Amino acid sequence: MRLLTYDDGSGPRCGVLRNENIIDVATLLGSQQPLRDVQALLELGDSPLDRVREALGGTSEDGVPLDSVRLRSPVLQPPTVRDFIVYEEHATGQGTRDASDAWYRLPIFYFSNTLRILGQGDHFPFPSACGQLDYEMEIGCIIGREGTNVSAADGMDYIAGFCIFNDWSCRDLQFDEMDARLGPAKGKDSATTLGPWMVTTDEMAPYLKDGRLQVKCNVRVNGDLWMQDGDAGVSYHTWGDMVERASRDSRIVPGDVFGSGTVGGGSISEAVRKGFEKARYLQPGDEVELSVEGIGALRGTVDAPVISTEGYRYMANEQRALPEVGSGRDYRYELKK
C-alpha cells in the first residue's frame, strides 16, 4: 500500500492511494474521528496496516483524484528524525578521504529538526545565512511500532514503510560548525522534505535483500539529470542495524523517521565528481526532483530568501570550492564488508 497525508482544503488527513485516487483512511475504517496523518494511523495499534489493507479490498469507494489535492509529508511532525550515514561512498567523499573506524563500527546518526518538515512539491525560502545550499538523495523509513532495545534481527518488524528523504543542507554552515566538533546542527536546520507517500514494507519486499533496499535512485534539477541510477543497495549498515542502534537504551515510536544518509552520488559535490557539468550549489528558483525505484518521485522548490542578512552575525567563515568536474568519473564503489 501507499499511505499518504493529503489536504483537499479541509485540513490534513491520512489517505491510501488506489490507482490515481485517494481514499480517506478514517472513512475506510469506519472511524468517526479523522486521522490527520500516517502517524495517527500507526498510533491506533491493533495491526492498523492490516486493517486498512483488509478494508481496502472490500470497498468500492472511488475517493478523490490524486491530482486534485495537496500532498503533505506522510508524517507532519515526526516525534524524532534520526538521520544516519550508511553509504561509504558518501562517507569517504568518493574515496577522497578516509572514514573513521567508528563509522565502520557504528550506524552513526544525528537528530534533525522535526519542525521544518515539507511534503511533495512544497516551496521553502532559501536559507538567508547560507551561501552553499545542497540537496541529499536519501531513503527514509517510518517506524510503525514502539520499541526499546530492539535487535537488528527484529528491526524490520518495526518499520512500517519507506519514503524518499531530501535532507536540504547548508554546506558552508555545516562545514563551519563541524570544525568545532559539533554538528550537523544549524547546517541541517532549514528543511527536510519527505514523501511523496509511505510505501509499506510488504510492498517493498521484492527490493529487500539482506536488510538493504536494492533500488536505483536519480536526481534532476530543473529537469537536468544530476544523478543516474545511484545504487541504494550498497549501504554498509542495514535497516535492522539502524533500528537496533536507535532503540538501544532509548525508545522508538510510531511516526519516527530514519534517514539512510546520502546514497552514493546523491549530493552536489558527488554529482560534480561524477562529471555532471551543470551541477552547482542550488539557487532560488531551482526545482529538485529525487526519484527512487519502487517508491516514486519527490519534488521541492527553493524560493528567494525572506529576510536580509544585513546586520546578521552568524555567517559561515568561508565557502569551500566544489571539486573539479569529473575528478571522480572513474571512481567505482563496491560494498566492502
Residue pLDDT, tens place only, 148-183: 999 999 999 999 999 999 999 999 999 999 888 887
Q: What are the tens digits of pLDDT across the range 271-312?
A: 999 999 999 999 999 999 999 999 999 999 999 999 999 999
Q: Work out the mean pLDDT of the chain and round it to a whole number.
A: 96
Cβ neighbors of 76 (< 8 A, separation 6 or more) are: 5, 12, 36, 37, 39, 117
Q: Where in the chain is the domain with CATH 3.90.850.10?
A: 81-303
The H or E element containing residue 154 is none
pLDDT digits (tens, 9 = 90+) for 184-195: 899 999 999 999
Percent of the chain whose pLDDT exceeds 90: 91
Note the pLDDT tens digit of each residue in 85-129. Answer: 999 999 999 999 999 999 999 999 999 999 999 999 999 999 999
* Cα gap 16→198, rounded to integer Å: 10
112-127 in b/e form (b: 16+ CB < 10 A) is bebebbbbbbbebebb
Instruction: Assign domain 81-303 to a CATH class.
Output: alpha beta
